[in-house]
Amino acid sequence: MTTALITGASSGLGAEFARQLAAQGHALVLVARDRARLEKLAAELRSRTGVEVEVLPADLTDEAQLAAVVDRVGDPARPVGILVNNAGIGLLHDFDRTPLEEEINHVRLHVEAPLSLCHAAIRAMSARNEGRIINVASIAAFVPRGSYSAAKAWMLAFSRWANLHYKRRGIIVTALCPGFVHTEFHSRMGMTTKFIPPFLWLRADRVVREGLVDNLRGKGVSIPSRRYKAVALLSRVLPGRLLQGPQRRPKR
């Protein structure tokens, strides 16, 4: 089995990727800011599956810490066969109400970090003529919803292109585009979820399972569930004002 490096691995989809890949027998490199949570997950996975788990704490918005993860991805002595770019954050307020530094960090995490890691991974994978990359984007990539949608649209477009271009070298690149998922993502950003209908929510295990299957099948885009596939299709014909949906409100 190969080694999988997962960013944002301490919780949510990242932790679920770690569990499912470990269950398949892959060794893991877990990347996130919270060392304590990474160590706890690593201990759980070692005990449950017996796989080798490496913990690599890093803030991917920090240039030096990102460089350390890039070096690990590209290390020919310890090849990474699967890269999962999952780390992400949300911004609660409208663009004009969000401090510029928060917007810049948002772009660093959602664009600069995955770009840097994909660059290192594809160079290393090309030398071996095999490799898998999953970039966790969002159904928001298909709709106009601020700088978050813009960043995820970049990830979607990049992944589509990279999959077409590098598949001939044995490298599969998939943009995973879920909708609302039961994780800590929304509570961490302080967003109320009361307005979201229950039928729109997805389970993290389903999202990860479908993403892994679609990646193995060589798909450039993976959209879990028929309901969100319909959203992606409708985004091509509906006016932007309808696709914006209900506006977020900060918690009181």
The tens digit of pLDDT for each residue in 22-73 reads 999 999 999 999 999 999 999 999 999 999 999 999 999 999 999 999 999 9
Which residues in the chain show pLDDT less than 50? 242-243, 248-252
| Residue 187 confidence (pLDDT) | 56
| Residue 251 confidence (pLDDT) | 42
pTM to 2 decimal places: 0.88
- Which is catalytic among the residues 17, 142, 148, 154? 148
How many angstroms separate the CA atoms of 212 and 127, rounded?
Answer: 23
| Residue 92 confidence (pLDDT) | 76
- 194-208 pLDDT, tens digit per residue, is 666 666 768 889 999
Instruction: Note if 166 is an active site residue.
Output: no
